[in-house]
Amino acid sequence: MSEAVTVDSTDGVLTITWNDPGRLNGLTGQMLVAATEAIEQAPAQTRVIVLRGAGRAFSTGARLDQPLSGTEPMEVSARLIRTIVGSPLPVVAAVQGAAAGYGCSVALAADITIAARSAYFLLPFVNVGLMPDGGTTATIAASIGRARASAMALLGERLPAADAAEAGLIHAAVPDDALADEVDRIVAQLSRGPGAAYRATKQAITAATLGHLDEALDREGDSQVALFQTDDFAEGVAAFLDKRAPGFTGR
């Protein structure tokens, strides 16, 4: 298990925590594999899965100080999303601070996403010359429609948690000091509930709303791998690391 991911299984609740608060839980491939395997290998008594981040942020997404190229990053990231969505167990995401980039993808792949009011959701991919991935071209459009999904993806602007809840992107935005209690309340309700009914319900809702998720992940993967090779991506990463505005050329 990666030290940057902690896993706790207590009273039927499997809690997976991004645990690199010093980097605002920036994600590596190793962290994604660790989370995926934790879900796949959940103890038999598990009733609910909780995803959370340590410290001030849920996750700021993939770390750009590490190379991104080839198909492996996309395969690893798609596997985690498929595992979250495909799990027969209810998955709850507890979001504080930033849920950005692939961190946003993970938060929105959960069945129930609850956020602190100070939290926000962000698809910043366009700001480094990439397109959204982690299934967000499907999950966000399924939740709030084409117009809002396009605005989030193309403008790369923050969506405050309260606006995300009002739009139907997440279940609820609650006062910051109430986040832990609200997550505990919902998890307790789910852990006492009818597991077989939950499994059937989740499968039916996923089929009705995300029946094209696999196609979306494959399409995102193919396109992102090509975008990794562009001048704009190289410029976007350089500008991000230099803390300056990028100068894109469209190539």
Q: Is residue 183 part of a domain?
A: no
Domain around 147: 1-176+194-251
pTM, entire model: 0.94
Instruction: Show pLDDT as tens, one digit a residue, over the chain (251 residues).
Output: 458 999 999 999 999 999 999 999 999 999 999 999 999 999 999 999 999 999 999 999 998 776 655 568 899 999 999 999 999 999 999 999 999 999 999 999 999 999 999 999 999 999 999 999 999 999 999 999 999 999 999 999 999 999 999 999 999 999 999 999 999 999 999 999 999 999 999 999 999 999 999 999 999 999 999 999 999 999 999 998 899 999 999 99
Give the integer Cα–Cα distance in Å for 86 and 167: 24
Q: Is residue 205 part of a domain?
A: yes
Q: Is residue 184 part of a domain?
A: no
Q: Which stretches of the chain are DSSP H helices?
A: 29-40, 72-86, 102-109, 136-144, 146-155, 161-167, 179-192, 195-209, 213-227, 231-242
Q: Is residue 223 part of a domain?
A: yes
So what's the pLDDT on residue 65?
A: 76
Q: Is residue 246 part of a domain?
A: yes
Number of H helices, E strands in the chain: 10, 9
Q: Is residue 181 part of a domain?
A: no
Find the CATH number of the domain harbouring 135.
3.90.226.10
Q: Is residue 235 part of a domain?
A: yes
- Provide the number of structural domains found in the chain: 1
Cα angle for residues 157, 161, 166 (degrees, 5° grid):
105
Q: Is residue 189 part of a domain?
A: no
Give the integer Cα–Cα distance in Å for 14 and 155: 35
Tokens describing residue 139: 């999950």
Give the integer Cα–Cα distance in Å for 194 and 132: 35
